[in-house]
Structure 1
């Protein structure tokens, strides 16, 4: 913590707070980095642990740091928040374009597999059928936003490798488009590997959005589960009072 030397004069906790803020702004401390223990900071800066705790408390309140019970204190650099209305059935790429952002994907997997029992039941598959599985990290202007896992019947998507960016746009070019979907939203805690992919501290909260999409015939076209960063994504709904 040589970068966090505290100058003399003025409240020491303010000096330390500013030093940590500067380290975050200049990316000496990056989003998701663990802060050293309070005793180590106190020893390095030559100040008391009470002073260190006061500075960290203020930074936690400001949203620049986050405490994880049993794990420590981590940098949580604020990111732009995105709002997703729940009343529209759209793709991630469409959502990002509507906001003037560039959608991207970092592919983890896209192949044909024999289905699990759950996939067989959810997709209504017959014996011997296979599924296309897509696993990707979704990006907005290069920033990881969501970890998405999608399964589709092989007769709907027989070449998963053909998907470059938007799944829905690729399928629509073939005359396939969902007309409705059911979504289930819940709060979850990310596993360590999921946190690493999304660039957030271990044990971070996320929004889990499970979607079942249907074709006009009523057939299930897709089942998916996306984990959205809770510090960057809000789901909104417009409600009206029926009279």
Structure 2
């Protein structure tokens, strides 16, 4: 399995062997990988070599380390393109997965100072807040906290978000609002315990926080949303042109 005459570093040869096991289907999602000590003995290398291979696979989301239990094969990451304004429901449908939601919070209230700034609201302006756990094929994928200008989307009160998954569809069909562009930022953070429990994310795994402000064609801000995606299940990608 290891070719010491090969110029490829030993840890990359170990990593490639493990990748082939996963890509061939011999190692399935949830399978536990042999301990580092056993793999090192099988390959005839030291444990640091195996550890480096596993660390790279963990960084790529191919495996998940669970303290006190071991290392397990994880699901392939969802490739989420940047540069297109789409809903979670559309994204999952494109990937052949069934989107669903659990509504955690739904209320109409007075906007905070930050929300008034983000949505260009007057003093005492109202917002419609929708906080949901988003799932794909029953697996928690993201937490979404969407705050919208209530004056523009009052008819959202007629929508059952348990049944209707896409907020953007509701905005178009019920409120006559078509969102055409957005400004967003993405950063990583270690989730607080309650968030990690809702997402069922591995211990210590980061989440990808996306903050987005969405506009209509005439530049009216409608939505300010903060989404927290499981870092072990998502990979954002974009195409850059020179």
TM-score (ref. length: structure 1)? 0.70
Matched with 1:86 is: 82
Question: Superposition RMSD on alpha carbons, in Å?
Answer: 2.7
| Unmatched segments (≥5 aa) in structure 2 | 1-26, 40-46
Residues 5-64 of structure 1, C-alpha deviations (whole Å, 9 max, x = no match): xxxxxxxxxxxxxxxx99x55xxx9xxxxxxxxxxxxxxxxxxxxx97736976992655
Matched with 1:54 is: 37
Matched with 2:183 is: 182
SS in 2 for 1:121: helix
Say how many residue pairs are matched. 193
Which of 122, 127, 149 aligns to 2:118? It is: 122
Residues 166-221 of structure 1, C-alpha deviations (whole Å, 9 max, x = no match): 10001111321111000101111111111001101343211111101011121111
SS in 1 for 2:179: coil
Matched with 2:234 is: 233
Matched with 2:170 is: 170
- Going from structure 1 to structure 2, the CA distance change for 1:86 and 1:231 (only over 3 Å counts) comes to same
- Going from structure 1 to structure 2, the CA distance change for 1:143 and 1:171 (only over 3 Å counts) comes to same
Following the alignment from structure 2 to structure 1, what is the Cα–Cα distance between the partners of residues 70 and 181? 40
Query: 1:129: how far off?
Result: 2.0
**1:5-84 pair list within 5 angstroms:** 25=31, 54=37, 61=54, 63=58, 64-66=63-65, 77-84=73-80
The answer (yes or no) to whether the contact 2:186–2:210 under 8 Å persists in 1 is: yes
Query: 1:224: how far off?
Result: 0.5
Following the alignment from structure 2 to structure 1, what is the Cα–Cα distance between the partners of residues 73 and 193? 19
- Going from structure 1 to structure 2, the CA distance change for 1:102 and 1:122 (only over 3 Å counts) comes to same
TM-score (ref. length: structure 2)? 0.71
SS in 1 for 2:170: helix
Residues 103-142 of structure 1, C-alpha deviations (whole Å, 9 max, x = no match): 1111101111111110011111112321111111111111
Query: 1:144: how far off?
Result: 0.7
Matched with 1:106 is: 102
Following the alignment from structure 1 to structure 2, what is the Cα–Cα distance between the partners of residues 219 and 204? 36
Following the alignment from structure 2 to structure 1, what is the Cα–Cα distance between the partners of residues 182 and 213? 5
Matched with 1:197 is: 198
Matched with 2:18 is: none
SS in 2 for 1:187: strand
Following the alignment from structure 1 to structure 2, what is the Cα–Cα distance between the partners of residues 190 and 74? 22
Query: 1:94: how far off?
Result: 0.8
The answer (yes or no) to whether the contact 2:76–2:233 under 8 Å persists in 1 is: yes
